[in-house]
Amino acid sequence: MDTVKIFDTTLRDGEQSPGISLDVSEKLEIAEQLARLGVDVIEAGFPIASDGDFESVEAIAKTVRGPIITGLSRTPFKDVDRAWEAVRHADKARIHVFIATSKIHMEKKLRMTPEQVKQEAGAAVARAKSYLQDVEFSPEDGYRSDPDFMCEVCQIAVDAGATTLNIPDTVGFAVPDDYAKLIRYVIDTVSGDFVVSTHCHNDLGLAVANSLAGVSAGARQVECAINGLGERAGNAALEEVVMAIRTRRDHFADVDVNVRSEELARTSRMVARLTGYHVQYNKAVVGRNAFAHEAGIHQHGVLADRETYEIIDASSVGQEAAQIVLGKHSGRHAFADTLEKMGIHVQGDALNSAFVRFKELADKKVAITEADLEAIVAEEIGSGLVHRYGLLELEVRGGTNTPPTARVIVTDADDKIEAAGTGDGMIDAAIAAIVEATGVPGKVGNFQVSSVTGGSDALGAVTITVEAEGHKVTGRGVATDVVEASARAYLNAVNKFVRMRERGDEVREPMAGP
């Protein structure tokens, strides 16, 4: 049985989704979970794109063990060199080189002749090969390229040392039958020892179908992202690809994947929380309603035998987690032990701050669930970073006939800063008070509120994007009160701006890829 490698691009293509801005610590947290999930390759970022992207890839390469860590690179040598500098610390490293081969991309974007593209591809792969053995090559917009020319470029890449050929459907234009034919054509036409990979976008809703068609045609790597994140309509959803292969053994009898599927739901929740891209309720495999039944006929059938209406065992994808018996009387040891059993490794000051938040929550909420713990850990210490500012107190006043006002006490090292603010609503007033306390004004863009769990005492999770000082960041906060959660989210963004200011981060435009 062949192994289909799962190449996860959540941290590269996924982060290119509009409104997503992950810092180094958040990327590292997701990468650790991807390793726990068992993906084969983590595309950690685009090192040349920015200093922050380089730091993220480098940190993941130094820390995360198990998967191959790869960085994306265009063909200029400075890109390849920068990618190598970022991934060289990994136990298993890869450089992923790409250049477009479609007529429209060569003429309109690259402004290169076909001969120039061939020369660039061969030289860049050879440069990458001089650093390491594992080199991947992608002819961007491969599906819309002339197949013979694309294969000619791929042959040059293989001759120069490429060990993986990725055939992207960059704009999501493919249909399964035609994409499978293209994969077979590459396998039959290009000579050498290499693995063929798929990278399908979802513009027509066919990314997963096209990826699976590629596997049936002989591809042995699938590039995908958690929750289907990615440019425009996104990439193939990792969880759907994995469970399709696992569930339809009759169709995929000769292949399997290394993914630990019971970690899928937790990974999905983490990515949704950190990116602010929430999962639709009816999303396949990981959606809240993926195993819910309301119709009477369905309920009767499931009660008689689960397989009447469920083709996947919910527990096999982590959708039925055991309830965590923790409350306000639980001690630090029990709290830490529970986190360890969940696969969340926290210690020192990070554990202390998370435990404080847990105790605060336990005073307000009787039943603490695994999802609650994941949320407060992600907000407080998911990064393990020391935050400049902390929220000590928040008081808001207002009503239908009373102008909203807010008072906050913010901690700054050993100091306490008290400030007040007004606004159009209580959330706006709370943010104004934090701006007054910290001196960091920002423009709030995307604003999302969701419940972590059910019930009137559910944790509210707030995700906002904030623009300030030439940067855009994502802030997150959780609390049983959405005003407090919103204040924490803005303060989280403020702390990111402060860290970026201290590092002297430059403002750079995002860069696309296959």
Least confident of 57-61, 368-372, 382-386: 382-386
Whether the per-residue pLDDT at 157 is higher than 60: the answer is yes
Q: Can you give the pLDDT at residue 513?
A: 80
pLDDT for res 191: 98
Q: How confident is the model at residue 354 (pLDDT cuts 50, 70, 90)?
A: confident
What spatial distance separates the first Cα and last Cα of the chain, rounded to whole Å? 29
List, for residues 219-246, the tens digit of each pLDDT value: 999 999 999 999 999 999 999 999 999 9
Percent of residues, the chain, with pLDDT higher than 90: 60
User: Higher pLDDT residue, 298 or 34?
Assistant: 34
Give the three-class secondary structure for 198: strand
DSSP SS3 for 197: strand
Summary count for the chain: helices (H), strands (E): 16, 16
89 class by beta-carbon count within 10 Å (0-12 exposed, 13-18 middle, 19+ buried):
middle
Averaged over 365-387, what is the pLDDT?
A: 66
Read off the pLDDT of each residue in 438-448 and give the average, rounded to a whole number.
Answer: 88
CB 65 within 8 A of CB 292: no
pLDDT in tens, 450-497: 877 666 667 788 888 898 877 888 888 888 889 999 999 999 889 888
Where do we find the tokens 């136990």?
A: 91
| pLDDT exceeds cutoff 90 at 68 | yes
How confident is residue 322, by pLDDT bands cut at 50, 70 and 90?
very low
Provide the pLDDT confidence category of residue 159 given band limits of 50, 70 and 90.
very high
Rounded CA gap, 73 and 68, in Å?
16
Least confident of 207-216, 300-309, 355-364, 398-407: 300-309
The single-letter code of the amino acid at 500 is: M
Residue 506 has pLDDT above 70, yes or no: no
pLDDT band at 336 (very low <50, low <70, confident <90, very high): confident
pLDDT value of residue 374? 74
Of the two residues 510 and 204, the one the predictor is more confident about is 204
Which of the 8 DSSP states describes residue 507?
P
Amino acid at the residue 394: L
pLDDT of residue 510: 56
Minimum mean pLDDT range among 127-141, 289-303, 322-336, 461-475: 289-303
Alpha-carbon span 26 to 32, nearest angstrom: 10
**Does the structure show a pLDDT above 50 at 321?**
no
User: Which residue would you say has higher pLDDT here, 7 or 455?
Assistant: 7
Residues 6+ apart with CB under 8 A from 116: none
Most confident option among 302-311, 348-357, 366-375: 348-357
Query: Which helix (DSSP H) or strand (DSSP E) does residue 375 occupy?
Result: helix 370-380
Give the pLDDT score at 129: 98
The average pLDDT across 121-144 equals: 98
Q: What is the pLDDT of residue 452?
A: 74
Identify the structural domains of the chain with CATH numbers, from first to last. 2-275 (3.20.20.70), 332-380 (no CATH), 389-503 (3.30.160.270)
* Contact predicate 237/225, CB 8 Å: yes
Site of tokens 């190449």: 7
* Segment 111-122 mean pLDDT: 97
pLDDT of residue 422: 94
At which residue do the structure tokens 């603010």 appear? 421
Mean pLDDT in residue range 179-195: 98
What does the pLDDT average to over 39-47? Answer: 97
Residue 130 has pLDDT above 90, yes or no: yes
Q: Locate tokens 């195993």: which residue? A: 291
For 472, list phi and psi in degrees, rounded to 5. Answer: -125, 125
SS3 content of the chain, % helix, strand, coil (to 5): 45, 20, 35
Q: Residue 187: pLDDT above 90?
A: yes
Pick from 55-64, 232-241, 325-334: least confident: 325-334
Confidence of residue 294 (pLDDT cuts 50, 70, 90): very low
Tokens representing residue 410 in the block:
């913010």
Measured CA to CA, the distance from residue 183 to residue 166 in angstroms comes to: 10
Q: Over pLDDT 70: what percentage of the chain?
A: 89
